Chain A
Amino acid sequence: MTRLDDLFAQCRQENRAALIGYLPVGFPSYEASVAAMVAMVEGGVDAVEVGVPYTDPGMDGPVIQVAVDAALRAGTRVAQVFEAVRTVSAHAPTVVMGYWNPVEKYGPARFAKDLKAAGGSGAITPDLIPEEAQPWLEAARAEDLDPVFLVAPSSTDERIAVVGRTNRGFVYAASTMGVTGTRSTVGNRAEELVGRTRAQTDLPVCVGLGVSNADQAAEVAAYADGVIVGSAFVRALQDGGPDAVRELARGLAEGVRRR
């Protein structure tokens, strides 16, 4: 059992969905980003997605792009991600969220080793699909980390089954065809996708992309095991610092408990 397995078991007992919050390391500064991640947990986030800043974040919308650009311009290094994981893991389970090239360049085995040593539970890899993931899967297995691949509304049932067999921890279901960013509605394709995913795997299914407020969190929590929120936290941090992040987490945490 990893920390993520324990978390989802506990949420099931409490009859609620888990709340997972994303922030990138280094925005607006290293210290402020880590403080905001801790504030997120204080507000009620159950697990933190620690973002590795990357120059070419193809799955991210404007809010996150601007934030990671700023983090890189401020000189943020990949090695600092492990420091952040070490600090935040003392408060809640962490998974890193990282595009593949920085991981490949760091060395998959070394990345896994340092992530494990820092107390991380796993990694979400948004531009890696199971077919290309052999080096990462071996590295993750060696360190007992949870590899998390995504499913999308366009995924065939066969592909969802492969992701279900390959993942550990949970399955990340992308709610819409699109990039990260807040949306006025989460869309009904997410519920259908969660249903199709449950038919292929017993792993918890968490929904990301587009959730920004308590009502949306409640709507998703009605059918998913976890709700993932990113851009809304980045925007809160930008506009109101760690206090605004804590406040947003409080509201969302209430939302995932409305069942």
Chain B
Amino acid sequence: MTAPELPDRAGHFGPYGGRFVPEALVAALDQLSQAHADARRDPAFVAELDDLLANYAGRPTPLTEAKRFSEQAGARVFLKREDLAHTGSHKINNVLGQALLTKKMGKQRVIAETGAGQHGVATATAAALFGFDCTVYMGEEDTRRQALNVARMRLLGAEVIPVSTGTKTLKDATNEAFRDWVANVESTHYCIGSVVGPHPFPMLVRDFQRIIGVEARQQLLDRTGALPDAVVACVGGGSNAMGLFHRFIGDESVALIGCEAGGDGVDTGRHAAPLTAGSPGVLHGARSYLMQDEDGQTLDTHSISAGLDYPGVGPEHAFLRDSGRARYRGVSDTDAMAALELLAKTEGILCAIESAHAFAGALQWVAEQGRDDLTVIVNCSGRGDKDVDTAARFFGLVSQEDIQTASDVRAHEGEQP
């Protein structure tokens, strides 16, 4: 079986994937598998999704040649501009697909987990568009780090529930979403945000994100007449990376490069790089690589990027890692932030800190090849507006007093009638 035909019927990518869930969820997962299989064959579903992607989300997104960035990189670099999709990241591709499935299954409520808030915002957006009730679980720690996205979700009509158990981050928000789902599965669809979770989620989310690579491949062929030497993406749960990689898996000359959150450095233990420095295990419904201690307890993670701060990763990436078809590396906080600054100053594009990991990884990969004739596509998975606060602190762009004054002013304005 070649990789594009995976997973098998039970949702396995080699030894990875599957369903490690309470029995209570099996019926809902079967229902979802069936709805997804029907939708794939249903021209009306495909047409409705295509229409939403084109006329609501703004697809196809451009493929931008980054000429000044390329000079610094020593390679011809093209950016797949998911940052220009509605809501500011690739997350909308998956959410629109799952919202349509939700409607088909006759459910009226969606729930989601979110880390940085991008997936939560995308889900709240689709819920508003479709008239669904929406509840988003977000780690208490992240609601503080990403207060603006909390406000965005609430403006869109979603209920945001801060999760205060465990590490108070994305991992625990995911646990809470699963608990809600078990209790409300008859009325509720769990709109999972990445290629993680029990079968069929990794396959289903990949199928909805696959359009990234399908478009990028054709756009580059139209522009240059050739395939790229590498495609590069950041990997949190792995959805923007699977979305970019999948169409290229059969193109054996194309290197697939995934960039995980190296945090303080993968050798420090303070990171979120399970494929680079973790081991196989089971978390959130599937077997894959994860960060765990010798008792199989999930470890705390660290990354400057809330969207990559997750101890697990999608099972198809685990498969691609073991087979050698894709290569994964950890990119440190510092290297990611340097790449973010370089892209901003050479191209006028402020990318998400998640995406900055891909730009840094691309720079490293090109440097390692020792060639000057390479062409690379980097997935610019999201825009950086949500990260300006973090970046301002990181680079010391504004003084602590300015930050304090600004938040005092905001708080004061908030008190006005």
Interfacial residues, chain A to chain B (CB-CB below 8 A)? 54-59, 61-62, 65-66, 69, 72, 77-78, 100-106, 126-129, 131-132, 149-156, 159, 163, 174, 176-179
The interface size of chain B toward A, counting residues with CB under 8 Å, comes to: 34
Q: Contacts A58-B178, A101-B282; is A156 near B27 (CB within 8 Å)?
A: yes
Report whether B165 and A65 are in contact in the complex, using a CB–CB cutoff of 8 Å.
yes
List of B residues within 8 angstroms of A152 by Cβ: 22-24, 26
Q: Mark B147-180, 1 if CB is under 8 A from A, else 0.
A: 0000000000000000001100001000100110
- Ordered nearest first, which 4 A-B pairs have the shortest CB separation? A105-B296, A152-B24, A102-B296, A154-B27
Further pairs besides A101-B281, A177-B24: 17, Cβ < 8 Å: A55-B297, A55-B298, A56-B298, A58-B21, A58-B175, A59-B179, A69-B165, A101-B283, A101-B296, A102-B295, A104-B282, A105-B292, A127-B282, A129-B21, A155-B24, A156-B27, A178-B179
Cβ of A167 to closest chain B Cβ, rounded Å: 12
B214 interfacial contact with A, CB 8 Å: no
Please state if A100 and B165 are interface contacts (CB–CB under 8 Å): no
For residue A77, which residues in chain B have a CB less than 8 angstroms away from its CB? Answer: 295
B175/A127 in contact, CB under 8 A = no
Give complex CA distance A253, B108 in Å: 43
| Residue contacts A-B, CB under 8 angstroms, 24 given | A54-B297, A55-B297, A56-B166, A57-B175, A58-B175, A65-B165, A65-B166, A78-B295, A78-B296, A102-B296, A104-B281, A104-B296, A105-B296, A106-B296, A131-B19, A150-B23, A151-B23, A152-B22, A154-B25, A159-B23, A174-B23, A174-B24, A177-B186, A179-B183
Q: Which of B18, B165, B295, B298 contacts A132 (CB 8 A)?
A: B18
- B26 x A159 contact (CB < 8 A): yes
What residues on A are CB-neighbors of B19 within 8 Å? 129, 131-132
Proximity bits, B287-301, A CB within 8 Å = 1, else 0: 000001011111000
**Is B47 at the interface (CB under 8 A from chain A)?**
no
Alpha-carbon gap, A227 to B60, bound state (A) = 57
Nearest residue, chain B, Cβ from A79? B295
Name the one of A59, A105, A128, A163 contacting B281, with C-beta atoms under 8 angstroms.
A105
Contacts of A59 in B (CB 8 A): 22, 179, 182
- In the complex where A177-B182, A177-B185 touch, is A102 in contact with B297 (Cβ < 8 A)? yes
Q: Mark B103-128, 1 if CB is under 8 A from A, else 0.
A: 00000000000000000000000000
Q: Kindly supply a per-residue 1/0 record for chain B positions 1-26, scoring 1 wherever the CB is within 8 Å of any chain A CB and 0 otherwise.
A: 00000000010000000111111111
Closest to A178 in B: B183
| Complex alpha-carbon distance, A58 and B281, angstroms | 16
Query: Does B284 sit at the interface, judged by CB under 8 A?
Result: yes
B171 touches A178 (CB 8 A): no
Q: Which B residues are within 8 Å of any A CB, using their own CB?
A: 10, 18-28, 165-166, 171, 175, 178-179, 182-186, 281-285, 292, 294-298
A163 to B282, CA, bound (A): 21
Q: Which residues of A sit under 8 angstroms from B285, Cβ to Cβ?
A: 127
The docked-state distance in angstroms from the alpha carbon of A101 to that of B297 is: 8
In Å, the complex CA distance between A54 and B282 comes to 12
Residue from B26, B184, B185, B281 in contact with A155 in the complex, judged by beta carbons closer than 8 Å: B26
Residues in B whose Cβ lies below 8 Å from that of A101: 281-283, 292, 296, 298
Please name the residue on chain B nearest to A126 by beta carbon: B22
Q: Which residues of B contact A154 (CB under 8 A)?
A: 23-28, 185
Residue of chain A at shortest CB distance from B179:
A179
Q: Hey, which chain A residues are within 8 Å of B27, CB to CB?
A: 154-156
Return the chain B residue nearest A176 by Cβ: B183
B20 contacts which of A66, A100, A105, A149 (Cβ < 8 Å)?
A100
Q: Give CA–CA (A78, B281) in the complex, Å.
A: 16
Report how far A44 CA is from B21 CA in the complex, Å.
32
CA A176 to CA B284, docked complex, whole Å: 21
Q: Counting chain A CB atoms within 10 Å of each CB, which of B22, B23, B184, B284 scores highest?
A: B23
Among A58, A66, A72, A104, point to the contact of B22 (Cβ < 8 A).
Answer: A58
Q: Tell me whether B282 and A100 are in contact (CB under 8 A).
A: yes
> How far does the alpha carbon of A54 sit from the alpha carbon of B281 in the complex, in Å?
13
B183 touches A177 (CB 8 A): yes
Query: Complex Cα distance A131/B17, Å?
Result: 12
CB of B365 to closest CB in A, whole Å = 33
Q: Shortest beta-carbon distance, A133 to chain B, in Å?
A: 10
Tell me the complex Cα distance, A178–B19, Å. Answer: 18
> Which residue on chain A has the smallest CB distance to residue B294?
A105
Bound complex: CA A132 to CA B178 (Å) = 19
Assembled-state Cα–Cα distance A177/B183 (Å): 5
Q: Which residue of B lies closest to A153 (CB)?
A: B24
Per the bound structure, the CA–CA distance linking A126 and B171 in Å amounts to 19
| Also in contact, A56 and B20, with CB within 8 A (given A105-B295, A154-B26, A179-B183) | no
